[in-house]
Amino acid sequence: MAADALPGCLERHGDRLWLAVSVVPNAKRTGADGLHDGALRVRLAAPPVDGKANETLVAWLAGELGVPRRRVELVRGQTARRKWLALDVGQAEVIAWLGRVLPMAGT
């Protein structure tokens, strides 16, 4: 694998990385739950009403990456289960985080 190769759920768009996410709202807890169809599956402890699930997703991901919420932006899929989030975070940090939440992603 090339040094600049990205996991399947990440794409480069200009200076930012985009993360594909497949959300499951109304879960008991918020957290990553593996890969699903080329996207990171995230269970959200929030209903898909009035943007609550989207807010929970952005806040959770920013917290996981240790960055302010303004560095995580929902760019596609506001009302869909499949979403794209733009990350103003270094590629190495995002890949290291994915390695922690998806320990078998590299296999």
Cα–chain center distance at 91: 13
Asked whether residue 6 is assigned to any structural domain, the reply reads no
Number of domains the chain is built from? 1
Per-residue model confidence as pLDDT tens digits over 41-89: 999 999 999 999 999 999 999 999 999 999 999 999 999 999 999 999 9
Asked whether residue 3 is assigned to any structural domain, the reply reads no
The pTM score is 0.89
CATH of the domain at 92: 3.30.1200.10
26 contact partners, CB below 8 Å, separation of at least 6? 44, 45, 46, 47, 48
Domain that holds residue 59: 13-101
